[in-house]
Amino acid sequence: MHDGEALGILSRFYDPASRAYAMLKAHGELVAGKALTAAAVVGNLNPDLDFIRSAALLHDVGIFLTRSPGLDCHGTEPYVRHGVLGRELLDRLGLPRHALVCERHVGAGISSAEVRRFGLPLPARDMLPVTVEEQLVCYADKFFSKNGEGAAREKSVDEVVAGLRAHGEEQVARFLGWARLFGDVPG
At residue 185, the pLDDT reads 80
Q: Looking at the domain covering 3-181, what would its CATH class be?
A: mainly alpha
Q: Which residues contact 104 (CB under 8 A, 6 or more apart)?
A: 83, 127, 128, 129, 130, 134, 138
Confidence of residue 54 (pLDDT cuts 50, 70, 90): very high
At residue 187, the pLDDT reads 62
3-class secondary structure, 47: coil
At residue 149, the pLDDT reads 55
**CA 138/CA 105 separation, integer angstroms:** 4
Yes or no: say if 124 and 115 are a contact pair by the CB < 8 Å rule: yes
Half-sphere exposure of 74 (CA within 13 A, CB side): 4
Confidence of residue 3 (pLDDT cuts 50, 70, 90): confident
> What does the pLDDT average to over 167-172?
93
pLDDT digits (tens, 9 = 90+) for 116-160: 999 999 999 999 999 999 999 999 999 998 865 555 789 999 999
Q: pTM for the complete prediction?
A: 0.95
